[in-house]
Chains A and B, each alone.
Chain A
Amino acid sequence: MRTRFWRQRTNIISATLTLIASLLLTGCFGNDEEDWNGKNISGLMPELEFDLINSQGKSVSGDDYSGRVRMLFFGFTSCPDVCPTALQKLNQATSGLDPALQDEVLTLFVSVDPKRDTPERLAKYVDFFGDNIVGLTGKEPQLRELAKRYRTTFGYDEPAADGNYAVSHSSAIYVFDREGNPRLLMRPDLSREEIRHDLVALIQEDA
């Protein structure tokens, strides 16, 4: 009896489910209140937290840079293309900001190649890309932990005859607001104007 009861209602139940599902789907895909160029990652990722060393060789944590909009980027100083292009673009985006806003943004460049990237080497490298950039690195387990926290990874290729090796890493720029909440994921193909637009929106929103 019960089976027949359910069988008779299959159509109604399935129609209702289809309706609910389609409502949910349009709800998921339809609304994006902010006009961000980056991908909105609010609520998808944990707050900015790390335990690394800076280019002066001092231990630092996420709190040391709080109060500013932060852009987290993984890379390595021997990187032939992705890192220099991205860092240069970030530098152009921030240096084009109103001077009063420039200090509100900080780029955190995390080298995932601690074997080659000593703090001194890292300091020289980041200085080349402007003032508002900090070079960070750490022991491999610390870096692995940070990468895992932000759902990314890195890997080392076999060294060539001259001892050089490539490092695979995320090409994304993770943007955190002043409180350290994850806000945007920027793909490196965004233009500096698009990046600047998002940064200004984030700075002004918090101020």
Chain B
Amino acid sequence: MSLLDYLLPYDFSPLTILSYMLVMGFYGVGLIRMPEQDRPGSLRIFAFTLGVLICYAVMQTRFDYYAQYMFFVHRGQHLILHHIGPILIALSNPLPVMRFWFAKISPGWRHTLRPLGWVYNVLQQPFIALFLFVGLIYFWLWPSIHFDAMLSRDLYWVMNWSMLLDGLLFWWLIFDPRPPAITSSLGYGRRMLVLAAAGVLQMFLGAWIVFSRDMVYDVYEVCGRAWPLDPEVDQLLGGMLTYIPPAMMSILGILLMLRRAMHQDGKYTNQSKQLEETAS
């Protein structure tokens, strides 16, 4: 196989390619057109691009082939779609670019798009966000659902897209750069609680897969593996990818939130006092 075969999509999805092109297009054009003082630094641009690129790579290159026929590669794919990619994108803080484009939307359109904002607000309630984030992992890994998702092309795409979109929502809620003291973003304490809960719940599932003696996910057995790997090894590796890296990510997230909380300690006291005074 040539290099091109590895880079071209295994299962070509025009909608996916179009979505990625639009995201990168809007980000790039926004960067060029926006006032220089608002423009994110090169590290942030790099983090955003890398996040988008790795998500694209696991969906529209040869990687997707291995993800369809190997359980552990599939777990790696979801680790990127649900965790690493969205984390990089959220940490890169694309808010200035989004604000730039938001300012271009006409008031009429903004009015039409308001229901989207309501849906977003509901989805970003901490309990709902946590329920969706962990619930989706459990849902798609429920053995009978997983079997169907790997057999049906449509379900497979719904699975991967739902993981990516939910990953973006969740990690944006967690890494929202706006200080909670003066904006409506979630407080640091709650962010850490949500992260801890997500970590523990994912560890349960991961541990269950790792320590299962039976074959839990036999669809890879039935439909053939990409190469002849021992099924138990495949399941063990997949379980470990569900168990360890997500837990580590939760802890890293908590540390990052602690750091932010400590940096912002006392920073906004005067301002909030002023706000209180004006309010009263």
Contact = CB atoms under 8 A, between A and B. Distances in A.
Interface string A151-179: 11111010000000010111110000000
Interface stretch (A6-14, A101-109, A122-130, A197-205): A6-14
Contacts, number: 80
Interface in A128-156: 148, 151-155
Given A14-B127, A151-B223, A170-B223, A41 B151 contact: yes
Contact of B121 (A6, A11, A17, A46): A6
Closest 3 CB pairs of A and B: A44-B152, A170-B224, A152-B223
A155 B226 contact: yes
B150 A168 contact: no
A44 B152 CA distance: 5
A39 interface: yes
Contact of A153 (B126, B128, B147, B223): B223
Contacts of A166: 228
B222 A187 contact: yes
Contacts of A153: 65, 68-69, 223-226
Given A44-B151, A45-B151, A185 B184 contact: no
Given A13-B122, A171-B221, 8 more contacts: A13-B125, A14-B128, A29-B144, A39-B147, A44-B152, A45-B151, A151-B153, A171-B224
Contact of A154 (B135, B151, B224): B224
Contacts of A148: 10-11
25 contacts: A6-B122, A6-B125, A13-B125, A13-B128, A14-B125, A17-B128, A17-B131, A28-B144, A28-B145, A29-B144, A39-B147, A41-B151, A44-B151, A151-B68, A153-B69, A155-B224, A155-B228, A168-B227, A168-B228, A169-B224, A170-B222, A171-B221, A171-B224, A172-B223, A187-B218
B148 A44 contact: yes
Interface of B: 10-11, 65, 68-69, 121-122, 125-128, 131, 135, 139, 144-145, 147-148, 150-153, 155, 184, 218, 221-228
Interface string A46-90: 100000000000000000000000000010000000000000000
Contacts of A11: 127
Among B69, B131, B144, B221, the one with the most A-chain Cβ atoms within 10 Å of its Cβ is B69
Q: B144, B222, B226 — which one has the most chain A CB atoms within 10 A of its CB?
A: B222
Given A2-B121, A13-B128, A168 B224 contact: yes
A171 B131 CA distance: 37
A37 to B, nearest CB: 14
